[in-house]
Amino acid sequence: MLKTFKYFTTILAISFLLTACSQKVVVEKPTILEVKQDTIVELSKQANDKSFNQQEQTDEYFSKYFRPWKQSKLSYSEIEAKWGFSYKNKKVYLENHNQATKEWFDKKIENANFESYNKDIKKAITLKNTNVRVLPTNSPMFYNPSLPGEGFPFDYNQNSLLKINTPLIVSHFSKDRAWAFVESHFVGGWVEINNIAFVDDDFIKDFTTNDYFIATKEKFAIYDPIFREYVKVGTIFPKKDNNFIVAKEDDNLNAKISYIQIEEEFIEKMPLSYNHENRARILKEFINEPYGWAGLLNNRDCSSFTQDYFSVFGKYLHRNSKAQTTNGKYFDISQLNLDEKKEFIRKNGVPFSTLVYLKGHIMLYIGLENNEPLVVHNVWSVKLKDKEDKEFRYIIGKTAITTLEPAKEQEGFTQDSNILKKVLGITIL
């Protein structure tokens, strides 16, 4: 679907709600709760270990994960695939903060070669963690960087990030042959050609071992035999005998099977048991990770945090925040006042299994401390106002544990700053 394909357009509102880069930026720590690991474990005990059927969910996960290798073409229409061309009609600024010209866009659109859409079908796999771009270029696209909530890190040419070993289907190539237009199990767009290799039936047969392990530690190195990548939580490795499989390219960019060793402390059989010890242990891997808009700089945003957290347990979540509300039972609480919203979450929220949604943002509810609902989310900033009523941003810029009203006690906090006021609903997975 289009909304899944261009996932980050649905979270654009985060730029106005929770994002930053105004002329006045406060970089001191905002309201981040220093919650001890023992407390997180105790909160995790409040969760329901049987909230979903892990084996059933894991089977569904792998069905989606390998789906690109079973497709005969990309699932998007050509019009959907070309949605990024609409930026030509907007004021977009490049890495030098100069406005992108009509000629600049014309060159990128010409190079995109959509005359060949779905006409050069190939199956492929990622060789490394790979940026998915809206247009076939590494140039960033910013809205006016001098405006609050714009500029770095909000590169609108960044669509998402694919992990190493991700199956793909290729539609076609850019005219300069430097880029491939691909679809994965959750996103589509442009990837650099040297980040992928092409697979055939023999490779697919060898790769799909039905014995899959998943990374449970964040950003550990793998070698083949030289350095290959820093692996992120949620990365999948097939296992054969006592070795793990990673794709490697030959001289013609065809994929071949490579066997590597990964230490047991970094990787576990998927799905990991959904119990209180594991829920707390995996969450610890994400805390303090720097914010990464759409996976920029190999980091996560709000919805990739929730997506990767649940992947370890075999639960498939969509990529963008709004779509994730459909991954369980959704309750609309938009018409409740602040106290009523909190009370609804207290009574109905299931710790570690409930997503709290507002336009452009998603958070994981983890339980109550002193009767106050706590959430974990990867967030850029909270909007405040100074004594002259001018907006500025409290930069959080990482995955943090907060209340539903972070920075409430700070001078300059207003109801426009209040995340809880913007909460629209919760989804129980």
Cα–Cα distance measured from residue 364 to residue 356, given in angstroms and rounded to the nearest whole number: 6
Q: Are residues 36 and 65 in the same domain?
A: no
Please tell me whether the peptide bond between 373 and the residue prior to it is cis, using omega within 30 degrees of 0.
no
Same domain membership, residue 184 and residue 45 = no
The answer on 256 and 346 residing in a single domain is: no
Residues belonging to the chain: 429
Tens digits of residue pLDDT in 197-216 = 999 999 999 999 999 999 99
pLDDT for residue 60 is more than 70: yes
Give residue-wise pLDDT tens across range 112-151. Answer: 999 999 999 999 999 999 999 999 999 999 999 988 778 9
Distance CA 329, CA 331 (A): 7
CA distance 42 to 56: 27
Residues 133, 10 within the same domain: no
Q: Which domain holds residue 226?
A: 59-269
Q: What is the pLDDT at residue 31?
A: 57
Q: Are 403 and 380 in contact (CB under 8 A)?
A: no
Contact criterion met (CB below 8 Å) for 157 and 133: yes
* pLDDT at residue 390 is higher than 90: no
Who has greater pLDDT, 148 or 184? 184
As a whole number, mean pLDDT of residues 185-190 equals 98
300-324 average pLDDT score: 98
Tens of pLDDT, residues 345-363: 999 999 999 999 999 999 9
Asked whether residue 210 falls in the same domain as residue 290, the answer is no
In this prediction, residue 384 carries a pLDDT of 80
Q: For tokens 């992990």, name the residue.
A: 163
Question: Distance between alpha carbon 350 and the CA centroid of its chain, in Å?
Answer: 22
For the chain, the average pLDDT equals 92
Cβ neighbourhood burial of 115 (10 Å; 0-12, 13-18, 19+): exposed
* Predicted pLDDT of residue 223: 98
Same domain, 217 and 350: no
> pLDDT band at residue 2, thresholds of 50, 70 and 90?
very low
CA distance 325 to 344: 17
Q: Are residues 256 and 291 in the same domain?
A: no
- Please indicate, yes or no, whether residues 184 and 100 belong to a single structural domain of this protein: yes
Predicted pLDDT at 389 = 83
Q: Summarize the confidence of residues 156-163 as an average pLDDT.
A: 98
